[in-house]
Amino acid sequence: MTNAVQTKDLINVTIHGRGGQGAITASNLLCECSFRAGFKDVLDIPKIGAERRGAPIQGFVRLSRDKEIKMYTGVRNADYTLIFDYTLLDIPSVVNSLSGVILVNAPDFVNLDCINPDLEVWIVDATGISMKNGLLIAGFPILNTLILGAFAKMTGMYTLEIMEKVYKSRFGKNWEKNYISAEEAYKAVKKVGRKI
């Protein structure tokens, strides 16, 4: 578990994904999980344009333990950065914007040398878990619930029990498959040694 920012009042998260992967929904779910875990104010800020499935997108989250959030702009210098698709690391503007503790959806064999070696990096194969568990929409893997499972383990900001309650309320009859896959991602996420 990463404790570097656990004592900060305002925690900033940047999410990089592709259209259709659930990155924007993840920002909303992260806010709901954090609020239920005791954060006083939460804010998700989607950066939405004319995206199509597969196009790079961004979302931002601000979480406050004690105060009302009064910043409504995108996040710079995030405490955490979530990468839903490791191929986004081929885009220089994404790599140059990485900050804080990084969580990448990637199989073990992916080369992460493009990430600043001073940054802490965690990986989870959310795509592989989603495919194995049949957690798909129109044949594409659902990643948001799994990435949030890995993020819960990485940060300790909220528990699996909170995730279960949020998923039950948000996904109706589909909550269980989302939760089981997220729990598997929670168990599978690992910190990466920086010399790959």
Structural domains of the chain, count = 1
Q: Is 36 helix (H, G, I), strand (E, B) or coil?
A: helix
Our measurement of the distance from residue 170's CA atom to the centroid of its chain's CA atoms, rounded to an integer in Å, reads 17
| Cα–Cα distance measured from residue 43 to residue 21, given in angstroms and rounded to the nearest whole number | 20
Q: Give me the CATH number covering residue 144.
A: 3.40.920.10
Residues of the domain holding 134: 10-107+118-187
pLDDT in tens, the chain (196 residues): 554 455 578 999 999 999 888 899 999 999 999 999 999 999 998 887 766 788 898 999 999 999 998 877 778 899 999 999 999 999 999 999 999 999 999 998 888 999 999 999 999 999 999 999 999 988 899 999 999 999 999 999 999 999 999 999 999 998 999 999 999 999 999 999 754 4
Confidence (pTM) = 0.91
Report if residue 173 sits inside a domain: yes
